[in-house]
Amino acid sequence: MSFSIRRQIRSSYVIIILLMLLPSVIGIVAFLAQTARYDLIITNVSKTNRVNQIVRTAVSAELWDIVAGNRKFSEGSQYEIIAGIRLNLEEIIETTTLIQNRQLLEVAGRAVNTLEVYVDRLGEQIEERFPVSENERILDEARGVIALVSDILQDFIVLEIESAERTNEKIKQMARLLVFGQLAIVVLVTLFASFAQRSVSVRIGRPIEQLEMLSNRIAAGDLDARADIPHVLELDTLTENLNRMARKISALIEANIREQQNLQKSEMKALQAQITPHFLYNTFDTIIWLAEAREYDQVIALTRSFSSFFRISLNRGKDWVTVAEEFEHIKSYLTIQKIRYRDILDYSIHYDENMMNLPVLKLLLQPIVENALYHGIKNKRGRGNVVVKGWIDETGLCFSVSDNGIGMTLERLQDVRNQICASTDPENLSGVYGLYNVNKRLALYYGDKARLEIDSMYREGTVVTFCVPEVERNV
């Protein structure tokens, strides 16, 4: 049988394609399956957190309005809220894979049924004109059930996050195996090409040497390496496939990097959703004592600011708001805090009207303002003042938060700057988590140039400034 270069190259081409595609396809399918599982877990965590917020706030507030006489029982939306909670729980149960987590949600569903029983009893008592004290007793029992449901949902969130961490580790392991497998394939292709070189004539020796050099560069990590088409019929297809393989390896590595960045962004979203409980408790306590003091105008102003604060915080799950909405969010927050700390807090907000409709990443200013209040104003004697500004210059959209609080020493200022820029576990941070989180999100969404700048003088105050480029987003 005569020796055919065409037949040998064709056979080599088939072998190379099988070696290249089969492990890659298996790895990609497994990788996509794990990624889909991770996305499902994150979705469940986000949805459960929203349900938890409704359980902790909406139901109790609705029942309180009824007991307080602000609304008739028949006019209240308590049953619609409970039905919505139950429907969301059923949807989450359908997408939850772990039996333990499903059972936990089923327990929460039974607790919601118990809550509905208390609501029914409250309606019966109101209809039969029971004393207010009896209605308040039922309300307290209902609040106990609400707290139980909230604790169960929080436990479910913790279990789902742990499951997400395990899934994330599997994704990382599969990514490493995929890279090692591709490198092994490159080595095999190199050896095969070397063997084929010995069996061909001198006429095609030079093109094969070029292919060998290409495969060696790919094996060494140079994924930008490409080989020119030799214009030899028997080698053209092989050269094209090697170039395609290099592009595919490079694309897979870039996709893995993007995936890791997306995972970090998802984790940041989960952290954003965790509004501190003491802020909620203190605000509700303030509403209660204002109502008891019959300062109804203050109650209305505080409740309106509280509603606006969470409306913008949630923003239907979107990450971007307009500059005007971001400043409205800050105004709502400072209105709440001013009512609570009326004797020690003043504030002012100024920004360029030309920037009001431009998009910006949400929840950038509130952690900085909160830091100014709790670490600056509250630690000084006398009345404090917080000033929030926004303007446009050549760098883009600029924002600043300044206070006349206690300020920082040079040593503390340097320590804060080092901590917010360090790649460290957030649990190890010392009182700068809010600033660290904002700085981290600025870097993730806007790049390394968007960083916090902090200036402070002890007993004089602190100024925090940052600028971001203008971006085109639908908000």
Q: Tell me: the pLDDT tens digits for 347-357?
A: 999 999 999 99
How open is the CA angle 398-403-406, to the nearest 5 degrees? 140
Last residue of a domain, one of 215, 246, 274: 274
* Residue in this structure with the two tokens 């409709």, named with its chain if needed: 357
- Measured at the alpha carbon of residue 402, what is the angle toward residues 399 and 404, in degrees to the nearest 5? 175
Q: Kindly state whether residues 303 and 156 are assigned to the same domain.
A: no
Residue 265 has pLDDT above 70, yes or no: no
Please check whether residues 120 and 233 belong to one and the same domain.
yes
399 strand-pairing partners: 390, 466
pLDDT band at 270 (very low <50, low <70, confident <90, very high): very low
- Distance, first Cα to last Cα, the chain: 71
263 and 285 share one domain:
no
Cα separations in angstroms, 225 against 24, 178, 214, 218, 231: 20, 20, 6, 7, 19
Is the residue at 259 inside a domain?
A: yes
CB 390 within 8 A of CB 426: no
Q: Are residues 169 and 270 in the same domain?
A: yes
User: Are residues 270 and 285 both part of a single domain?
Assistant: no
Instruction: Examine residue 473 and state whether it is found in any structural domain, yes or no.
Output: no
pLDDT of residue 109: 84
If asked whether residues 244 and 311 sit together in one domain, one would say no
Residue 199 pLDDT > 60 = no
| pLDDT band per the 50, 70, 90 thresholds, residue 196 | low
Task: Tell me the pLDDT tens digit for each residue of 365-418.
Answer: 988 998 898 888 888 878 899 999 999 998 899 999 999 999 999 999 999 998
- Say whether both 128 and 266 belong to one domain: yes
Q: Give the pLDDT band (50/70/90) at residue 5.
A: low
> Phi first, then psi: what are they for 351, rounded to 5°?
-155, 155
Question: Is there a single domain that holds both residue 184 and residue 203?
Answer: yes
**Within this chain, do residues 251 and 305 fall inside the same structural domain, yes or no?**
no
**Given 259, 274, 289, which residue is the final one in a domain?**
274
pLDDT tens track for 8-60: 666 766 776 776 677 677 777 777 777 877 788 888 888 888 888 888 888 78
pLDDT of amino acid 13: 67
Higher pLDDT, 168 or 87: 87
Residues 310 and 453 in one domain: yes
pLDDT at 181 over 90: no
Residue written as tokens 């030309």?
354
- 321 bridge partner residues: 360
What's the pLDDT band for 269 if we cut at 50, 70, 90? Answer: very low
Confidence of residue 2 (pLDDT cuts 50, 70, 90): very low
The pLDDT value given to residue 178: 74
Of 197 and 76, the structure prediction assigns the larger pLDDT to 76
Instruction: List, for residues 121-135, the tens digit of each pLDDT value.
Output: 888 888 888 887 887
Q: Which residues contact 272 (CB under 8 A, 6 or more apart)?
A: 313, 363
Average pLDDT over residues 176-201: 70
pLDDT in tens, 204-253: 667 677 777 777 777 777 767 777 776 666 567 777 777 788 778 777 77
Burial of 380 (0-12, 13-18, 19+ CB in 10 A): middle
Among 274, 290, 311, identify where a domain stops: 274
- Asked whether the beta carbons of 432 and 420 are under 8 A apart, the reply is yes
Which of the four pLDDT bands, split at 50, 70 and 90, describes residue 3? very low
pLDDT-based confidence at residue 146 (cuts at 50, 70, 90): confident
pLDDT in the model for residue 430:
64
Q: pLDDT at residue 273 above 50? A: no
Q: What is the pLDDT of residues 293-348, one digit of tens each?
A: 777 787 887 788 777 777 777 666 677 889 999 999 899 889 888 888 777 889 99
- 210 and 291 housed in the same domain: no
Specify the higher pLDDT residue, 317 or 188: 188
Domain count, the chain: 2
pTM: 0.46
Across the range 444-471, mean pLDDT stands at 89
Residue type, 71: R
Q: Which domain holds residue 436?
A: 281-468
Q: What is the DSSP pairing of strand 396-403 with strand 384-393?
A: antiparallel
CB 354 within 8 A of CB 392: yes
Look up the CATH number of the domain holding residue 437: 3.30.565.10
Based on the fold, state whether residues 211 and 72 are members of the same structural domain: yes
